[in-house]
Amino acid sequence: MHEPVLRARGLRKVFPPSTTVLDGVDVDVAPGEWLAVMGPSGCGKSTLLNLLGGLDVPTAGTVEIEGRHVETASESARARVRRGRVGIVFQAYNLVPHLSALDNVALPMRLTGASVRIARHRARELLARVGVADLADLAPGALSGGQAQRVAFARALANDARLLLADEPTGALDSDSTRTLMRVLRQLHEDGVAIVMVTHEHRVASAADRVLFMLDGKIIDERRLTGLDQDPSRTTFANLVELETW
């Protein structure tokens, strides 16, 4: 039995003065597993992702990435864990506007000490991996939404991250761009990258191995989609997610 690449226990997040956004959430992610997290706006999905990636710290609870606790680490130590172990993709892409697509992807490697030559060579490989090698010299402002999101995925993988956290990665994309990005995600999944993806789209969630549904800061249901046995007694999530395939 492989140890989880990500393990969270008892996660609680309270924003001042007394707004509880997460209330006792447990999450395990196995190596190479694809986990989708669904739920209505304001249920705590993005807050959960921020805690899992060390972008924020919980009010209570623990987060381990490859066995290393990040909830007690300093901000700089959490940043080092993200640079070396975790790739994060946001709906807004967060690309540096004055850098080319190539240099946006190379940036994380430069921050960890790679030479310009090595970082740019690896960046070209990653852009090719997500199907936008021909856009390497363009600035983010010259890219479509789908192209920018693929560059963001390439950047998230720059330091060979084996865990990818994606917050509504298809939320701002049209249907064609969404299908293209889903092919990228499937390939990453087949390559053994563990994925935690927040989404509100049923068809996107249906590609995952397992889906969690959140409401009011808690996980209220779970469905494993891999090897689905069509158990008629498990109706709660079945009523929320149409099991569609791309």
Residue 36 carries which side chain, given as an amino acid letter?
A
- What contacts 65, CB < 8 A, 6 or more positions away? 5, 6, 54, 81, 85, 86, 163
Print burial letters for 93-119: b (CB count within 10 Å at least 16), e (below 16): bebeeeebbbbbbbbbbbeeebeeeeb
Is the preceding peptide bond at 17 cis, omega within 30 degrees of 0? Answer: yes
Let me know how long the chain is.
246
Run of H or E residues at 23: strand 19-29
Q: Compute the distance between CA of residue 131 and CA of residue 37 in angstroms, rounded to an integer.
A: 26
Q: Compute the distance between CA of residue 180 and CA of residue 184 in angstroms, rounded to an integer.
A: 7
Is residue 175 classed exposed, middle or buried when 0-12, 13-18 and 19+ CB atoms within 10 A define those classes?
Answer: exposed
Residue 182 carries which side chain, given as an amino acid letter?
M
- What contacts 63, CB < 8 A, 6 or more positions away? 6, 7, 8, 11, 51, 52, 54, 69, 70, 71
To the question of domain 6-98+142-224 being in CATH 3.40.50.150, the answer is: no
In 3-state terms the chain splits into helix, strand, coil percentages (rounded to 5) of 35, 25, 40
Q: What is the pTM of this model?
A: 0.86
Q: What does residue 208 show for φ and ψ, rounded to 5 degrees?
A: -75, 165
Domain ranges in the chain are 6-98+142-224
Per-residue pLDDT of the chain (246 residues), as tens digits, is 578 999 999 999 999 999 999 999 999 999 999 999 999 989 999 999 999 999 999 999 999 998 889 998 888 888 888 877 799 998 788 899 999 999 999 999 998 899 999 999 999 999 998 889 999 999 999 999 889 989 999 999 888 888 999 999 888 888 888 888 888 899 889 989 999 999 988 888 989 999 999 999 999 999 888 665 555 454 444 544 554 343
Q: Compute the distance between CA of residue 203 and CA of residue 217 in angstroms, rounded to an integer.
A: 23
